[in-house]
Chains A and B, each alone.
Chain A
Amino acid sequence: MRQSSLNENEALTTALPSPEMVREQKIYRTFGLTDAEYARAVELLAREPNYVETGIFSVMWSEHCSYKSSRKVLRRFPTQGPQVLQGPGENAGIVDIGDGLAVAFKIESHNHPTAIEPYQGAATGVGGIIRDVFTMGARPIALLNSLRFGELDHAHTRYLFAESVAGIGGYGNCIGIPTVGGEVVFDNRYQQNPLVNAMCVGIMTHDQIATGSASGVGNPVLIVGARTGRDGIHGATFASAEDPHAKERSAVQVGDPFMEKLLLEACLELIATGQVVGIQDMGAAGLTSSSAEMASRAGSGLTLDVALVPCRETGMNPYEIMLSESQERMLVVMRQGAEEVAKKIFEKWDLQATVIGRVTDDGMLRVLEGGVVAAEIPVSALVDEAPLLDRLALRPAYLDELREDAPVLAQPSDFVAELAELLARPTIASKQWVYDQYDSMVRTETFVRPGSDAAVVGIPGTKKAIALVTDGNGRQVYLDPYEGGLRAVAEAARNLVCSGARPLAVTDCLNYGNPEKPEVFYQFERSVDGLATACEALQTPVISGNVSLYNESNGVDIYPTPVIGMVGLIEDRERIVTSEWKMPGDEIYVVGALSHALLAGVGGSEYLALRQPDASLKYRLPTFDLEQEVRLQQYLLACAQQGLLQSAHDVSDGGLLVTFAESAITGGRGAEVQFDFAVQREGRAIESDELLSLFFGEGVSLVVITAKPESAGALSRLANEHQVALTRVGVVASTPFLRVSVDRQLYVHADIWQLQAAWRGAIASWMKH
């Protein structure tokens, strides 16, 4: 197979620096390889790597591709369960939803590109995650996005936010996959490092599952889709660079959603022929990582000739072709002799499918340029021998300085004004300005559009539907990495349950600062412990995910921000539950320990951040009761499945009053709500702290549900069975007023249309600036 020696190659092919120059001038450092890593590469090769090989090592061993900081920690996640058909390790995870059907999903970050070219950065993030899903043989049916930006009073933040949203919409709308949900949080901690995490969900039959494995000696390897240009060379390396602007050195990729739509259709048609051995999308580190990973999974080798790769630009050398991050490309291994099948299908879609190499059995990734060897590296050296770090983790001092007592906050004289102000905070306000820019309805299966606790999408040809959500709360994870981790998973699952869905599995996007700082690494480890524990308890294994580190600028790290993407199953689409209040006369209940809600305080809450911004990082997060949470969720699910719920909405950002207000606004209905603590308190009057904790605290898992009066008996029987606290607190009114009193004293008497104005218009009015 080997056609010429490496020395000849140097002379013959390119004018790239020699291996000696790479060593002597320490060129590897500019690629992001450390001295020790370079030495290790020399050892593994038993010679000095040439320029191309050095480039290949550097991207494969970058944080982005090798997960060298995080890999060990990620092993703590539970990944198994009867529903799991494909766990982590492939392009996307897959869970069974019965009837021979399965759902594939994954979430991925595109934070660094977005910081410097928000439209294209966000757009190509969406493009990448869609490829991950259709690579598995699944038809993408829904997208979600989880976003973090600085505060909107900053012009540059508004630019980043507006362009990112436009880019996400631009890609998803064009390709015809509905964007059905997500979240947006605004906090100055993200001003320099916005987070854009995109999630894609696809549907498939069990027999369509494709994987990214290059097996079968002699099988042809094809590159399909877009031509290769000099886009984003070394993007993977720079994604791990401290300063996102360092990435400017490499070109940012421009996405072509039209091309991807064709690629998607062509690939699904190709996979359906049964002639595909393996298929993998080309994301970070392009041809290099896709080929190495495919060979590694099969324990095989690959020989590729870059001269056969269709290029967009002239004069591209092997280094550039191997490292290009041009979008909308895939690597496909076909059965021998089936090349024509691929070519025919791709021709119909006006796309190229070009054989560029073969599968071998010698475990080598061999790159030729017109038959001449340009690089030759054992696949195992790139993948299995990639560095694995034991980063130092140190408990940050700030955690021990957090105060346990309640912050001193004056009791507001006007709770309605307080509530309106909270509702107008961009993090809490309606995200309609965002999701109206997304086509959330294409495919005509979106039963619950953005705006409820979770989105719900129908499964054609069945009675089933799936519920989808992303959730994360960086400030809470910062205040308590472990408990914050628990909460992130619990909240995602709770949102699914509130829509009537049984949570199935998790995909996670772990966004953190610089892992070389022991304090940041501690946050990472401890929060993963929290996430893992909650996933275990809620029986939602992690089936796919993504890690984004080095979200840091000028020495300031973002909050540790794990984002949880979760999918749940609704067996009967007639049993979907939404969050808006429905009928006057429906009874309102709070599920969960209300008595604790009085005492848990406002630590970690949006309310504290609003009232005392300086104190918002100084008070402890209330502790979280995971067992209680599990029972609460099982109870809600049982209620939903028996059709007892008219609405359900969990208490999250902003606390209980915000939850009431949102259900009132979206339902266009007021309510009469009365809490009665007098008896249990033996007449002692409620204190100001307790009132604030009840109204604005975010410490205790609570869900507000409404039900028809005749359901009362069944609801409380089930509550006894599941040992959860259920308190009837009021009724949905026929007037548009939300009235809330505690121990017979009226605190809130709000016109819901006024609340609506505050809530609905807030982001739009910022964006008019």
Chain B
Amino acid sequence: MKYIIAAIKPYKLDEVRDALTAIGVRGMMVSEVKGFGSQSGHTEIYRGAEYAVNFVPKLKVEIAVPEALADDVVDAIRKVAKTNKIGDGKIFVLDLQEALRVRTGETGEDAL
């Protein structure tokens, strides 16, 4: 199984979710993160005080998937999240050793 972590542009979330459910993903977790990368931030000034906001708001999507689905998931996110503008985000794939569904006690791919 794989544990996929993706950083995406916030307004792409609904599309990403739709694309993933379409290929059979049944769960995920989404959180707000401050992203740092090539996309530059902006400057804010409050009276005399100037602050460089170097971080850009992104959403982090985490999806545990069966081995077989991993590539499709990466592809799906990639297609949908892409706008060809800087800051489109990245996808990271980690190895997932075990999964468990609390309610039923199911483990492994059944739990996903």
Q: Do A and B come from one complex?
A: no
